[in-house]
Structure 1
Amino acid sequence: MALATGIGSMPGTDFAESIRIVLDTVGGLPHVPELPGRGVHAGMIGRTLSLLSGLEADLQPDGWRVGVGEGTDVRRARSLLAHDLDLAEEIAEGHTGPVKIQVTGPLTLAATVERPRGDKMLADHGARREISESLAEGLRDHVADVRRRFGQADLVVQVDEPAIAAVLDGGIPTASGWSRHRSVHPPEADALLRNVVEAIVAGGARPVVHSCAPDVPVELLAGAGFTAISFDLSLVRPDDIWAETFERGVDLWFGVVPSTDTAGVSDKDLVGRVRTFLDRFGFDVDEHADRLVITPTCGLAGASPQWAGRALELAAAAAERLEG
């Protein structure tokens, strides 16, 4: 059967309330939510930097920077993550089936985080490799910790890469804003992603990748070893590469529920969009339903609390209807 889940972030600051909403609405594939409303240390970048191994980070006036020693913000990020996992373990006690956690991928980290002397880590080949390896090593410990907490669950690790298309196309601005960083070529991008994928698999978890950007590099992501691609359906072209990738065994997670408050959305309409996409390639939805997941288009941090709950309800209803 098809499943539904959230991408990651939720509005507000009450983690216990958020995880309960997640379990009540998308309990077949719940995710451990991120609540960036609590501050930068609770967002996707800060939370992921708290996992790095051998590479300390701190928050500077112009953003996150590595190699300048451990700061109070990254310590706060570690504390919040541990607190959230403690609550999730308690509230979801006895949960069986999959559970999803999220981390920021190495390409987006490199495009966002600065080197000790300024400018993005993206600017330096060695720095890009260093942050990928540090993330992979930190993930080994993180995956082991989460697996221990959810002993009866199958762990899914979603790697968020919102900046991947811009990184590959040379679209990330330099610190001056007058030029762009050079593009990262696919073979190097593959190696950086593969470090992370292999760490996830070694921990006994399933690697999934999410990008809500246009021009998702489907072939690159599938080649790096991800078992599913999560994407915003409204931003992709139904090229044959999607069909070829699906036939190779990579599952598709359809982002169709608006991530901000929107009136007049029905689960029937959402299912129609998914069916139209699959019908183009001749795939029978009923035959492949167990390889499909319905999600919001992106994180829900910018939604009202009411819409965040409604969005997850719509995703769950669409997943159920998908087989009808």
Structure 2
Amino acid sequence: MTASAWPWPVGAATGIGSLPGTDIAEAQRIVLGELPALPHLPELPARGPGADLIGRTGGLLVELPVELYAARWRVAPRPGRDLRRARDLMERDLDQLAEQAEEYAGPVKVQAAGPYTLAAGIDLPIGGRMLRDPGAVRDLTGSLAEGLRAHLAAVARRLPRASVLLQLDEPSLPTVLAGRVPTESGFGTYRPVPQPDAADLLRTVVEAVGVPVVVHCCAPDVPLELIRSAGAAGVALDLALVKDLDPLGEAIDAGLGLLAGAAPATPPPGGRAPTSAQVADRVRKLWDRLGFPRRRLPEQVVVTPACGLAGATPQHVRAVLAACRDAGRRLAED
């Protein structure tokens, strides 16, 4: 692997984040074994509350405790058992990462929910999602930025030779921008958030953390220009959901890195994981349709599964991660 202008090696592959099961030691072994150029900290939502995307990131917030109430996360009056559980799980995960990757000297990726997915997923104490109150969303964003800065410093202390890359998961961002997030009654929706406001808050987090940031959104209508203008180094998306190539081409031309979700997160019924040749060919075809020179592809693009792998079998996980890794190597050798 050679150097790149982007915060990953040429021909790299990585995972999106989640894996099946509850054994963090085994999950971390799989990631380090299958994705040696850009490993990530696995997320295991099957462990229950506090291991899910919202609870896991909620545990990182500063001076904004959260708790579970009626199976939803909400702002709590004081830290309690649910918050302790989320923090204990994260601490265990970081300890396992340090134990297995202490001498690792390349880039490593960690994931957290972005501000708008959090705002759509955490309730106010009085009811309703935080998204309904722009002031609460600003407070949440500041708390998240401070918490992520401390979290990334903790990762860096445990892996002193590595460089850290942050992935902000924003699956709710398109629905927030479009005003399609339902209210608690289900009969209405929250007001759409203007793109400039969303870009400002996303930029607050990107600038605060002090490491390169990738924004992941495995939904249609990924707001690519917003993500680029917020200062992200890259975007992670599902290639199967890309319908309009022009915005993607403009973002890539402007220097945005691409984590290309090119392998299905679950196999088709009765089917198998794709081969590395099939995955590489899918990325290559997209790149050629965009009209960029092939030599830029393995530098600017990281090969990934289409989304998280929490719903896959362990066999599919290993096959998909290996196919992505070898596809990245194929693209580097073109």
Q: In which range does the TM-score fall when normalised by the shorter chain?
A: over 0.9
Deviation at 1:241, TM superposition (A): 2.1
Matched, 1:258 2:264: yes
Indicate the residue corresponding to 2:249 in structure 1. Answer: 243
| RMSD (Å) for aligned C-alpha atoms | 1.1
Matched, 1:269 2:278: yes
| Separation in structure 2 between the aligned mates of residue 237 and residue 186 of structure 1, nearest angstrom | 21
Is the 1:65–1:114 Cα contact (8 Å) retained in structure 2? Answer: yes
What whole-Å deviation, never above 9, does each CA across 1:289-313 have from its counterpart, x for those lacking one? Answer: 1111010111111111111111111
69-78 or 279-288, which deviates more: 279-288
Matched, 1:148 2:157: yes
Matched, 1:211 2:217: yes
Indicate the residue corresponding to 2:93 in structure 1. Answer: 84
After the TM superposition, which residues 107-256 of structure 1 pair with which residues of structure 2 at under 5 Å, given as runs?
107-201=116-210, 205-256=211-262
Flag structure 2 segments of 5+ consecutive residues without an equivalent.
1-9
| Separation in structure 1 between the aligned mates of residue 131 and residue 244 of structure 2, nearest angstrom | 30
Deviation at 1:277, TM superposition (A): 1.3
| Separation in structure 1 between the aligned mates of residue 149 and residue 173 of structure 2, nearest angstrom | 23
| Separation in structure 2 between the aligned mates of residue 287 and residue 105 of structure 1, nearest angstrom | 29
> Any runs of at least 4 consecutive aligned residues in structure 1 with deviations exceeding 4 A, and if so which?
none
Is the 2:297–2:331 Cα contact (8 Å) retained in structure 1? Answer: no
Q: Which amino acid aligns with 2:72?
A: G
| Separation in structure 2 between the aligned mates of residue 259 and residue 312 of structure 1, nearest angstrom | 10
Q: Which amino acid aligns with 2:161?
A: Q
Deviation at 1:93, TM superposition (A): 1.6
Deviation at 1:261, TM superposition (A): 3.0
Indicate the residue corresponding to 1:93 in structure 2. Answer: 102
Deviation at 1:283, TM superposition (A): 1.0
173-182 or 313-322, which deviates more: 313-322
Instruction: Report how many residues are paired.
Output: 321
Deviation at 1:143, TM superposition (A): 1.2
| Separation in structure 1 between the aligned mates of residue 152 and residue 33 of structure 2, nearest angstrom | 24
Please point out which of 27, 33, 42 is paired with 2:42. 33
Deviation at 1:102, TM superposition (A): 0.3
Matched, 1:306 2:315: yes
| Separation in structure 2 between the aligned mates of residue 128 and residue 287 of structure 1, nearest angstrom | 38
Flag structure 1 segments of 5+ consecutive residues without an equivalent.
none
Indicate the residue corresponding to 2:3 in structure 1. Answer: none
191-200 or 281-290, which deviates more: 281-290
Deviation at 1:246, TM superposition (A): 1.2
